Amino acid sequence: MLTVVLLSLLLGAAPNDGSPASSPQSLAAPPVADESPTAWSCTADTLRSGKECVFEAELTPSEPSRDQAASNVRTLQEMGRTLCAEAARARSGEGKPDRNLAAVCEKKYAAAAERCGLEGTVPVVDAKGRFAPAARACYRAISGALQETQMMATVAAPCCQCAAQRGCPGTGDRCYADLTQQAASPSTLACMRDRCSEACALVPPASSSSKAPAPSLKSRPGRGSASL
């Protein structure tokens, strides 16, 4: 009895509603492939999120073409303004993007996109929006620009905006990179701690090398002295 039940399930027994069972022809038919992008495919969405992805596009290389190379660069540069605006939003992801930070992002993104011509042998993305395998280096470059902007938006943007409003030194476009790279001057950090303590709560502390100068040769202990 159990064998009969298993065979019925495997072969597709007719349901109780009277509809016909699957025909032998349908069982022998070749499978239909779903060629839509998977959740792991490298697309504009994975650029936004920074998630790991797979280069799934299947494109046949052709002879190098200047027109195709220019089209590849133009395609990605047209995406840059939107992607940078999204990356430059405040840490909550709501509200308007930081315009100064978005402008910094667009410069870095545009420079990275110049590498995306792929010598004009294939489109940088296929018709489904999937990045070509040949675009790995290009994808990583523009992804790096966006992720750096996202980090600046989270860590530095609120602090730099407050510092500029409160008249601290060292503000402007350079402020974002200086804070994330711990390269801000002591006077800038002191002003931020004093006037923007809440907005600058996520800013990393200054590196030990910037807190105090190294002792001069005259002040260093001699060979016979014990150093602390």
Residue 151 has pLDDT above 90, yes or no: no
What is the share, in percent, of the chain residues with pLDDT greater than 90? 37
What does pTM read for this prediction? 0.65
Q: Which tokens belong to 15?
A: 């349901």
pLDDT of 89 reads 83
Cβ proximity of 130 and 68 under 8 Å? no
Residue 18 has pLDDT above 90, yes or no: no
pLDDT of 203 reads 77
pLDDT digits (tens, 9 = 90+) for 56-113: 888 889 999 999 999 999 999 999 999 999 998 855 455 677 888 899 899 999 999 9
- 158 C-beta neighbours (distance < 10 Å), count: 20
pLDDT of 224 reads 40
pLDDT digits (tens, 9 = 90+) for 159-211: 888 998 999 988 877 888 888 788 888 999 999 989 998 888 877 766 544 44
Residues 6+ apart with CB under 8 A from 215: none
Cβ proximity of 57 and 130 under 8 Å? yes
User: What one-character DSSP code corresponds to residue 220?
Assistant: S
